[in-house]
Amino acid sequence: MRSLLCRIALGLWIVTIGAAGWFFVQGWTTQGTDGRMQIVLAPAERDLILGEMRMLLKAVHGVVTGLAGQDQEATRAQIEQAARSAGMGMAEDVNPALMAKLPLPFKQMGMSIHHDMDALADAIVQKKTPQQILQRLSSMTARCTACHDMYRFSAER
């Protein structure tokens, strides 16, 4: 009897771990009507993610605006701050339950953008040329547009 209970417990444990792994990779998604994968979130979670995306866009705008200025040396600290504001520090306190709902490729792209914003801020401190900074930024925004082409958000009902 004890052996049977151990096998059942082990089986349930394996199924639970498998299901958790599957949800970690897949997230809570459905196929959207426009061909993109639809990530299903609670309304507050959706608002949080979209707010973070707006903050990323504002950071990009801050970098581009600073690079377009006449005296880039005087604004270098502001440009760095704009980039750093969207770095890994922005992603530190994300709710694990929310992260579980996001598909793995979305999580990977998002984290790579935060990491690259910190690297961009470092490049600004290292006095890389505006052209080098814009090349990095172009690579990053290419991932942003790819992500927006692949995913959309919907709120749970």
Task: Return the pLDDT at 74.
Answer: 64
SS3 41: strand
pLDDT digits (tens, 9 = 90+) for 54-108: 999 999 999 999 988 876 666 888 999 999 999 999 888 778 888 889 999 999 9
Task: Return the pLDDT at 92.
Answer: 80
Is residue 76 a contact partner of residue 123, using CB atoms and an 8 Å limit? no
Is residue 82 a contact partner of residue 2, using CB atoms and an 8 Å limit? no
| CATH of the structural domain 28-155, one choice from 1.10.357, 1.20.120, 2.40.50, 1.10.3470 | 1.20.120
pTM: 0.79
Q: How far apart are CA 149 and CA 122, in angstroms?
A: 29
Is residue 79 a contact partner of residue 72, using CB atoms and an 8 Å limit? yes
Do β-strands 37-41 and 29-31 pair in parallel, antiparallel, or remain unpaired? antiparallel
- The angle subtended at Cα 62 by Cα 154 and Cα 115, nearest 5°, is 65
- The angle subtended at Cα 44 by Cα 38 and Cα 45, nearest 5°, is 45
Q: How far apart are CA 91 and CA 73, in angstroms?
A: 29
Per cent of the chain over pLDDT 70 is 83
